[in-house]
Structure formats: structure tokens, C-alpha cells
Amino acid sequence: MEKISIIIPLYNKEKTIYETVNSCLSQDYTNIEVVVVDDGSTDNSLNMIKSITDSRLVVKSFPNGGVSAARNRGAKIANGDFLIFIDADDLMLSNCVSTLVALGKKYPGADIYCGNCEVVSNGESNPFCKNKKEGFIKNNFRERYFRKFTMSAGSTMYSKVSYERHGGYDIRISVFEDTDFDLRYLRFAKIVYTPKCLYKHILDNAELSVNLKPLNCYYTNYADFNDATCFWEKIIMAMIVYAIICKFKYAGKTYEYKILKKKFRRYYGYIHIHKFLSVLFR
């Protein structure tokens, strides 16, 4: 019976962390550990989780280093054969871990096992992926772009061996850090997907309340289209780059907007293709 490590980076989430941790500890698969990495919280978050009594809960505190550093630290602490990362304001469904473990037994040898997730906004919940086919992913980049599967935190299980091969998160990036992480993984990973929804991403707790950070915290500061290995990887990059450019544009951050426009001007063809495909297929 494999041990599964659930890793939660924590920074100032006193309103949600207790429920998040309990959703992890309430899994119907019991051979787990829940590793909470407190990233220098200044609110009551740490006291909230210290009130939970469960031998499977591990809490470690570090000076603030950002979400990517916290996840990497959690992976080093973890004793599990597989790793699941979840944000401190989301919820795992009770069958999440058991479903992913069963998927691993049914399709052995993969680097990643992932399920669907529910995106909750304004009280409404919808699945992120519409694909209802279970099994190995055939074209990682293309199928990821068309939402045939998702590597969302909370519904994705990584073998620890593949994570160590991958190298973890880039600690320089704290916004869209998962894009950089995912793209590097997609270049080599064998991935298995199930359409079952395994966790809830509560948008009202996350993106809708996030303030813009300095430009050097964003994926775009380090994105290089020359590193891409195929056309579909470039289209995914274009999708994220365009989303970040729009964030600064509509926030009235003219200086940052102009910097990004200039940096990615030569790659706007991929952005236009992404915009065309978005209209055509979504």
C-alpha cells in the first residue's frame, strides 16, 4: 500500500487552511501524510492548523520564500512514494487519493496520474475538463491545450522519482509558476487521466482576490519560446503570456504592459493562433 504525501504551501490563509487540511485528512485512503509548509505566515494560519491533532499531519515553518520554494521544501520533507500538491484555499474530495492510487494500479508505469477538478465560482461548480475518456494521454501538449486533461493542484499525483528527475518548481516564479512546472514535465512524462472530479478549486478564494505582483514574479519574466519543443508547447506558452499581458493592460499598468508587449512582439503570431483557436473550439 503506497504512501501518499499531500503537500500544502501556506501563507496567510487563516480563513481557509483549517478546512483544506481537514479535507486532506478525511481521505478514504488512509496511508497518507499531510505536509504543511508554512511560508512565513503573519496571520493566525499556523495556530489554526496546530489545533488539529492527527499523527499524519506534519507542519514545518520557514522564512518567506514564495510558493514555489514552499512546494519544493515540502517535496524534500515528504516520505511518500507519490506527491500531491494542493493550495491552502482549495478542497480535496474524499475519494481523491484512493481514485489516483487505483488509477496507478490499473495503468502502472506512468509519471503522473491526474483527475478532473471542479472550478467553483459564485456558488456554481463546473468541471474543468469535458473529456470523459480515461487512460494514457497520447499527445501531452496538444491534449493539455484542448483541456483533454488537467494537471491541476489537488487532483494530480506525481511519482516522487519523476519529481526528482523533473527538478521541482522554479523558485523565482510565484505567479503562473505551475505553467513553467507543467511545461517542463510535459516534455517527458507519461500521463494517465480520469474524468472523475477529485477536488474543488475555489476561484472566489484565489484568483479573484489576487493583487498584481512585481513583474519579475511572473512566468513571463522567464518564458523563452526558443526552449519550446513543439508547436503545441508554444501555443500553451502564448495562451499564458497573453493572459498575463492582459492582466497588466486592464489593471492600467502601462509600464509593465509595454515591457511585455516589446519582449513578446516577435511571437505574437502564436498569440493570434491561440486567440483564433479559442474562438473556434471553446
Residue closest to 263 by CA, chosen among 229, 230, 216, 199: 216
- By DSSP bridging, strand 135-136 and strand 82-85 are unpaired
Q: For the whole model, what pTM was predicted?
A: 0.93
- pLDDT of res. 206: 57
- Alpha carbon separation from 255 to 8, 64, 247 (Å, rounded): 34, 28, 13
pLDDT digits (tens), the chain, 282 positions: 799 999 999 999 999 999 999 999 999 999 999 999 999 999 999 999 989 999 999 999 999 999 999 999 999 999 999 999 999 999 999 999 999 999 999 999 999 999 999 998 887 888 999 899 999 999 999 999 999 999 999 999 999 999 998 999 999 999 999 999 999 999 999 999 999 999 999 876 654 445 789 999 999 999 999 999 999 999 999 999 999 999 999 999 999 999 999 999 999 999 999 999 988 776
- pLDDT of res. 209: 46
Residue closest to 200 by CA, chosen among 128, 270, 122: 128
Q: Whole-angstrom Cα distance, residue 22 to residue 49?
A: 9
Positive or negative: CA dihedral 228, 231, 237, 241: positive
- pLDDT of res. 280: 78
- pLDDT of res. 148: 95
Q: Whole-angstrom Cα distance, residue 127 to residue 234?
A: 25
With beta carbons less than 8 A apart as the criterion, state whether 274 and 238 touch: yes
Q: Whole-angstrom Cα distance, residue 141 to residue 282?
A: 17
Q: Whole-angstrom Cα distance, residue 165 to residue 12?
A: 31
Instruction: Name the residue ranges covered by the structural domains of the chain.
Output: 4-209, 215-281
- pLDDT of res. 125: 86
> Under CATH, what is the fold of the domain 4-209?
Spore Coat Polysaccharide Biosynthesis Protein SpsA; Chain A (3.90.550)
